[in-house]
Amino acid sequence: TQLLEQSPQFLSIQEGENLTVYCNSSSVFSSLQWYRQEPGEGPVLLVTVVTGGEVKKLKRLTFQFGDARKDSSLHITAAQPGDTGLYLCAGEANSGYALNFGKGTSLLVTP
């Protein structure tokens, strides 16, 4: 099992603030996916990064895959209460196989 460490574990901020969450591993992944999960629901795919150094933007969310494909970050600009949720990163050693998940970062954005 290739371990993914996410930090911080919990984050509570006010609306309008910026934040970055991190996903680190000592292993190389062929791809890395970010999901957002709400209580009692399944994870919802936000983005997939494949190429080392890749940066993808999804509205106010910016995702980066490390050059060595071992780590990733998620930056949220001007957070909104609707961004509240559990953010999970998941790495795939080989395409189409099992995902290894981190424990997630629980984000709370208050008005």
User: Does residue 24 interact with another protein by CB under 8 A?
Assistant: no
Following CA atoms 47, 50, 51, 56 in sequence, which dihedral angle do they give, to the nearest 10 degrees? -10
Nearest distance from residue 74's CB to another protein, in Å?
A: 15
Q: What single-letter amino acid sits at 52?
A: G
Considering only 21, 61, 79, 90, the residue that binds another protein (CB under 8 A) is: 90
Cα separation, 107 vs 94, whole angstroms: 29
Q: Is 58 a residue that touches another protein (CB under 8 A)? A: no
Near another protein by CB under 8 A: residue from 59, 82, 97, 111? 97
Interface residue with another protein, options 12, 14, 30, 110 (CB under 8 A): 30
Number of residues located near another protein, criterion CB under 8 A: 26
| Burial category of 56 from C-beta neighbours within 10 Å (exposed 0-12, middle 13-18, buried 19 and up) | middle
* CA dist., res. 2 & res. 14, Å (int): 34
Binding site for another protein (CB under 8 A): 4, 30-31, 33, 35, 40-45, 48, 50, 88, 90, 92, 95-104
